[in-house]
Amino acid sequence: MVLRKRASMHLKNLLFAVILAACEGSGVYAPAGALPDSGIAKPMEDAGADVGRTLCKGGVSVDGVYPRAAYAVALHETLPDMTFDTVNDDGTTAKLALHEYFEPCAARSRLLVLRTGAGWCGTCRWHNAHTSDLKRLDVGARLSFLDLVIADDDGIPPQPPALTRYRAHIDAPDRVAADPKFQLGPVSPTKGALPLFVFVDTRTMTVRNFLSNPDPQLLELRVRQELADLDHAPPPPFQAPEKFDGTFFKNQWDMLHDMTLPGAPPADPTNAKADDPPAAALGKKLYGESALSPSGSISCATCHDPQKQFNDGLPVSEGIRKVDRNAPALALAAHSRWQFWDGRADSLWAQALGPFENDKEFGSSRLFVAHAVANLYAAEYTAVFGALPPLGDTARFPASGKPGDAAYDAMATADKTAATRVFVNVGKAIAAYERTLRVKPNRLDRYIGGDMTALTRTEKNGLLVYFVVGCAQCHYGPRLTDDAFHVTRFPTGRQDGKADVGRAAANALLLQSDFLAGGNFSDQPNAGHGLALSTDESMIGAFKTPTLRGLPGSAPYGHGGKLTTLDDVAELYSTAGLSASDVRAIGAAPPWLVTFDHTAKEAVVPFLNVLEGDVDP
């Protein structure tokens, strides 16, 4: 029998059941009626009725194109006639409304599957790639999918190109539309992981049920239950779920095996020397060279020490002065499409240039760096990049300077370009060295590779919780990151104590940059991935999702470096960050950001400690 109770405690009870099942080695599923607070909707009294009124008479809709009722975005309620922006197959934009799915005179109800996800979402990508599994079922013809996208790959509201990219990830797509306001969020009284499935009876446009990131067997079972109930037919028979290693559902197992150890980074055509061994050899020397700073005391290794897993172990890094952020992980930076916590560089070589001209880090300038290279590494530089300009002519090339400095601004345009080209090549050589860094395999990699004893039972339980509570929607793939920007309301590291606006300030810096992947100093400007910039308020206080590889050895944590232990990190995530009234953070926590209780928090930390990331320097 289909359960009738409300779903307010659904996620907590499911989590408890999953953890208990993992610990005891038993199943999580039960036949309908066996679990409390399951969230399964009560049956409709009449699939063709709307608040006691007949909607169809003589094969014709009585009330026109949409039910006239009291609307609400909630279980057992009629959805309002929502309208969304969509993209047609030919690339043109259009409007899509829910009334297009309303069919009150149909002989049998169908299910409209409203599936909300995001371009950055790993759990969404798994479900998108397995849409055809549902469509191939014997009831597949009674399902109609509408995918609603709340954000693009970077976390900003989706524009038409983002909808096209999202559709390409769906193996059997129907229609895709933008829903940046996450309008269906209120259907779920708890914040579960994306994607959110909402099942709607097309004869009444009533919400029948919902699921958050379900495993495929539960998803199929729920679809069959709802259609059977609409048909007033017996419920489908219960089947024990398939478990891998006695613990993980198929979607979790698949995603786990996508977390394979990263190898070589993707090609960077904007840097012609990206994978050139002599350039990397020069870059390694430049990386550790303190003579590139006027103080003679700062190098790249100051904040990214090879002896400390390319971190510095400090809350916020210290150049010639303390900066405002924790040093990001470096070892896998060559794989990332954006650099720095706020993404203010779009290539690895541009990132390498940023600290030189930062007043708190190197306190240097492009002219100073060019002269230092000419004095110390002229032969190596020339062998890789060709002849240096006549930097000995200090009348043309002052000893130091950068844009905004009088000495630099007074230079001839051609000389500015020549000096800057040397500076850029320094960044490209350092990037070539950083691209050679490789992370060593850890016990998770051995487990993925088939060693079922590589993780303890406690660590496997933590990995299961990692999937259940939604960590994998952002932390997935080989580097365990989505490379997107999110507001998680972690405390600031600014020296003045003010909240850090993050990505919102990076847009202007990108637009002003001389060193874009699509700019004049790129070796292939048309290979730049483009700027998906937004002034949307969702980017205020947003920061890039960090990789979790190397997590245990990279404390303290967060962009402000205020979290000392992984328990502190789990504690803050469990509450969706600092409260809205806390002045140490800024920006609104997104409605999809999951929260979880102390049971999950304590369970997941042992797994996080597995994610070592020692580097071969």
CA atoms 77, 83, 86, 89: torsion sign: positive
Decide if 196 is inside a domain.
yes
Q: Rounded CA gap, 109 and 48, in Å?
A: 8
Q: Rounded CA gap, 14 and 461, in Å?
A: 14
Decide if 151 is inside a domain.
yes
Decide if 125 is inside a domain.
yes
Phi, psi (degrees; rounded to nearest 5) at 390 = -75, 70
Kindly list the distances between the CA atom of residue 451 and the CA atoms of 115, 309, 454, 603, in Å, as whole numbers in the listed order: 36, 26, 6, 22
Q: Rounded CA gap, 565 and 611, in Å?
A: 14
Q: Are residues 145 and 284 in the same domain?
A: no
User: pTM for the full model?
Assistant: 0.89
Decide if 254 is inside a domain.
no
Helices 216-230 and 250-257 meet at what angle, rounded to 10?
150
pLDDT value at residue 105: 86
Tens of pLDDT, residues 29-76: 433 333 323 333 333 333 344 444 566 765 556 656 788 778 999 999
pLDDT value at residue 3: 35
Q: Is 472 exposed, middle or buried (0-12, 13-18, 19+ CB in 10 A)?
A: buried
Domain boundary (438, 465, 493) is at 438
- Residue 209, domain CATH: 3.40.30.10
Q: Are residues 305 and 421 in the same domain?
A: yes
Decide if 513 is inside a domain.
no
Decide if 301 is inside a domain.
yes
Q: Rounded CA gap, 180 and 155, in Å?
A: 10
Decide if 21 is inside a domain.
yes
Q: Rounded CA gap, 110 and 391, in Å?
A: 75
CB atoms within 10 A of CB 585: 23
Nearest to 559, CA basis, from 579, 537, 584, 576: 584
Q: Are residues 131 and 17 in the same domain?
A: yes
- Per DSSP, helices labelled H in 120-191 are 122-128, 131-135, 160-168
Q: Are residues 315 and 198 in the same domain?
A: no
Q: What averages of pLDDT result for each successive group of 10 residues across the chain (617 residues)?
A: 35 40 35 32 37 58 73 95 93 93 90 98 98 97 97 94 95 96 93 95 95 97 96 91 95 97 95 98 98 97 93 95 94 94 95 97 98 98 98 97 97 98 98 96 97 98 96 96 96 96 90 91 86 76 96 95 95 92 94 85 95 87
Domain boundary (417, 438, 459) is at 438
- Residue 374, domain CATH: 1.10.760.10
CA atoms 402, 412, 350, 281: torsion sign: negative
Domain boundary (416, 438, 460) is at 438
Residue 381's domain spans which residues? 277-438
Q: Are residues 285 and 423 in the same domain?
A: yes
pLDDT value at residue 47: 36
**Structural domain count, the chain:** 3
Structure tokens at 76: 């057992």
pLDDT value at residue 531: 61
**Partners of 459 in the β-ladder:** none
Phi, psi (degrees; rounded to nearest 5) at 203 = -85, -15
Nearest to 298, CA basis, from 348, 355, 341: 355
Contact 131, 202 (CB under 8 A): no
Tens of pLDDT, residues 157-207: 999 999 999 999 999 999 999 999 999 999 998 888 999 999 999 999 999
Q: Are residues 424 and 376 in the same domain?
A: yes
